[in-house]
Amino acid sequence: MANILDENITYLKGVGTARANLLASELGIKTYYDLLNHFPYKYLDRTKFYSVRELNSDMNYIQLRGKILNVEVLGEKRKQRIVASFFDGTGTLKLVWFQGLKWVQQQVVPGKEYVIFGKPTEFNGVMNFMHPEIELVDNFKDKPDFSLQALYNTTEKMKSKFLNSKAIHKLQQNLLPLLKGKLPESLPAYLIEQHKLMHRYEALYNIHLPQSLDLLQKAQFRLKFEELFYIQLKLLHLKHYQTTSLGGFRFEHVGDKFNTFYMQYLPFELTRAQKRVLREIRHDTNTGHQMNRLLQGDVGSGKTLVALMSMLLAIDNGFQACIMAPTEILANQHFKSITELLTGLDVKVELLTGSTKQSQRRLIHADLVSGEIHILIGTHALIEDTVQFKNLGFVVIDEQHRFGVAQRARLWKKNVNPPHVLVMTATPIPRTLAMTLYGDLDVSIIDELPPGRKTVKTLHYNDSKRLRVFGFIKEQIALGRQVYIVYPLIKESEAMDYKDLEDGLESISRAFPPPDYAISVVHGKMKPEEKDKAMDLFVRRQTQIMIATTVIEVGVNIPNASVMVIESAERFGLSQLHQLRGRVGRGADQSYCILMTGNKLTTDGRTRIKTMVDTNDGFEISEVDLKLRGPGDLEGTQQSGIPLDLKIANLGRDSQILTFARQVAQDVLADDPRLTKTENFVLKKQMELKWKYEFNWSQIS
């Protein structure tokens, strides 16, 4: 047989047809390889004992040592159950069994000392263990290898057929000895030696059957490293391919439009960070290779201006440019501010969105093809196939996290050579995630706000303090400021959220009556014209309060608005809260973000609110977000095409291993970009195996 890992799981001792079917349908485990790579999700330290006094119902599986006091059989027939009281010197709890009562009656004897193991739940003020594992203390002591017990994910259906975590553990015990001496290394020998990595078999053995904490940690390191290393190798290889093989337009000179704008039109001095990024872009676009650059910068850091100046550079070199924004409001806003900034310069800018009229659309299409239009601003409408350019040389994608990699790629197809791509995001992505999601991009960071900005003060209030908050809003309005009040909008319950907003509107209309106050309302159910009208009133300061759902989250820029009230703030994710807060603090006045919540917050909810109150640093916030939610749930990562549901590594927790893995991958490729050296043969093979990915080695010069 070719490879023992391809062996059908049915033939493993302890499996058989029924279990094999269950493993396949529930967990997708069909072969030895699949089972071997079904890693434990955690380990229980079975040397640690808890006491009854310290229990709470948030705890996961734990163990205690104590005496059974008495055992009762309660209920009739189907409702029959055994309830035992268990005492450990610090308190009493109840053990409950509904099944296997005969067995329980034999095993559980009053007066004897036991180790019990299970998950505590609270019921009528008493701690309960339902169906705990139970073992006489004397027997427990005799068990070897019992200090670190691997726990495996299973499903309800599997558990009902007794294919629980313990059963999987048993299968791993059957499998591993069969593989001894038969697992070829999946990393080159020189890397293993150089970085003192555990060998593959030993690592897999200790992941499932840890012989000590030390060996477990070494095993985890090796497997996490391997997982992250191959992702980085793939991304860096791709990047290498793009930068060395794909041709790119050359923006050779800085011309008239750029210079005139910079010298005569720019109303302020660029920050040092903006200048640095412009230099980076200028360099990239003059190499003859395609630029793929991610521009990260906190809200309000002036990314749009950098984008505009880069586009002028493109135009000076005879190319067209476009900006793609995720919403119409944003596209409109870009259009407005860019046309304003360019007034007097001979640059033709057009707007193309879903609501552009057909007749206008036709004109735009024609002017794009003839090259009359220099800059096209729009939404997804830009990537429709009917939109063709004469010579598209530079693409800006704003707020990237809403566009997938696939959409990025579609823009490339609009020209013979791919245009340079600048991806802008105001949702800072943790470094680790950026390395993975955008590992094929170069990253620029604007880490400096334009001068004179005051940091937004963030306050947290309970709903009961609403009147105080209203009083504060009145003070601010009296000072001439404007106020946003935002309500959550979560897809699943749009109707309910809409009701939140309506109720809110009612109470706010009462607290802020005309003619002293005027209110704008913007939400997703409105027609674009209605939305624009409401926005416009607010922009022109005809209204002082803007009540909205999260449609205003991204990019809206109204410097006079200095208060952002977020209702039910506990229902928002961190990146959303940060985005919303970024809507204020754009003018010279002190701004405020007020987070309104109920009294009862979950642990995560409390962490989110506290993080917002404690810091304004978007990167710090994104790190917390990553830890709370995991990468798969972070905004915009779903369609990334990169496997984020890693098997063993965790992008939130394993950032050091990731950095290390990326460095090693870089070193390997620097030395052997096509992986043609004998010692790297295993890398090439693994890449093909893991990514089922056609490497175009020959194209790399």
Give whichever of 340 and 694 is closer to ligand ADP, judged by the CB atom: 340
Please report how close the Cβ of residue 268 comes to ligand ADP at its closest, in angstroms: 4
Judge if the upstream peptide bond of residue 450 is cis by omega within 30 degrees of 0. no
Site for ligand ADP in 443-502 (CB under 6 A): 450
Q: Is 327 in the site for ligand ADP (CB under 6 A)?
A: no
d(CA 698, CA 107): 69
Spatial contact of 306 and 398, defined as CB atoms under 8 Å apart: no
- Nearest CA to 640 out of 445, 491, 423 is that of 423
Report the distance separating Cα 223 and Cα 543, nearest Å: 58
The DSSP result for 59-73, as a single string, is --SEEEEEEEEEEEE
289, 293, 303, 460: residue in contact with ligand ADP (rule CB under 6 A): 303
Per CB under 6 A, does 274 bind ligand ADP? yes
Residue 443 has φ and ψ, to the nearest 5°, of: -115, 130
- By CB under 6 A, name the one of 220, 271, 591, 616 that touches ligand ADP: 271
Minimum CB distance to ligand ADP, residue 417 (Å): 28
Stretch that binds ligand ADP, among 151-159, 301-309, 601-609, 613-621 (CB under 6 A): 301-309
Candidate segments 264-272, 431-439, 524-532, 596-604, binder of ligand ADP by CB under 6 A: 264-272
First to last CA, the chain: 39
Q: 300 contacts which partner out of ligand ADP, Mg ion, none, CB within 5 to 8 A by kind?
A: ligand ADP
Query: Which of 15, 64, 305, 644 touches ligand ADP by CB under 6 A?
Result: 305
Q: Are 14 and 174 in contact (CB under 8 A)?
A: yes
661 binds, among Mg ion, ligand ADP, none (CB under 5 to 8 A by kind): none
Which of Mg ion, ligand ADP, none lies near 562, with the C-beta cut-off 5 to 8 A by kind? Answer: none
Look at residue 238 and give the partner it binds from ligand ADP, Mg ion, none, a contact being a CB closer than 5 to 8 Å depending on partner kind: none
616 touches ligand ADP (CB under 6 A): no
Q: Is 226 helix (H, G, I), strand (E, B) or coil?
A: helix
DSSP H stretches of helix in 438-493: 466-478
Find out whether 566 and 596 touch, Cβ atoms under 8 Å.
Answer: yes
Q: Residue from 132, 300, 393, 419 that binds ligand ADP (CB under 6 A)?
A: 300
Whether the Cβ atoms of residue 8 and residue 19 lie closer than 8 Å to each other: no
How far, in Å, CA of 599 to CA of 604, rounded? 14
Closest CA to 459 of 468, 450, 448: 468
332 near ligand ADP, judged by CB under 6 A: no
Pick one of Mg ion, ligand ADP, none as the site partner of residue 270 (Cβ within 5 to 8 A by kind). Answer: ligand ADP
Give the DSSP H or E segment for 431. Answer: helix 431-437
Cβ distance 9 to 36 under 8 Å?
no
Q: Is 183 or 299 the residue whose CB approaches ligand ADP more closely?
A: 299
Nearer to ligand ADP among residue 121 and residue 260 (C-beta): 260
CB of 396 to Mg ion, least distance (A): 11
CB 637, min distance to ligand ADP, A: 21
Closest to ligand ADP by CB, 84 vs 347, is 347
Q: Which helix (H) or strand (E) holds 86?
A: strand 81-87
Stretch 184-243 residues interacting with ligand ADP (CB under 6 A): none
- Of 548-577, binders to ligand ADP (CB under 6 A) are 557
For residue 611, what are its two tokens?
């993080």
Number of residues that bind ligand ADP (CB under 6 A): 16
CB of 560 to ligand ADP, least distance (A): 12
Residues 6+ apart with CB under 8 A from 13: 174
Stretch binding ligand ADP (CB under 6 A), from 300-308, 316-324, 355-363, 603-611 = 300-308
Reference 460, options 469, 471, 452, 448; nearest CA is 469
- Residue 265 binds to ligand ADP (criterion: CB under 6 A): no
Please give the residue ranges that form the binding site for Mg ion (CB under 5 A). Answer: 555
Residues 405-434 contacting ligand ADP, CB under 6 A:
426
- Backbone φ and ψ of 186, nearest 5°: -110, 10
Q: How many CA atoms lie within 13 A of 63 on its CB side?
A: 21
Return residues touching ligand ADP (CB under 6 A).
268, 270-271, 274, 297, 299-305, 426, 450, 557, 586
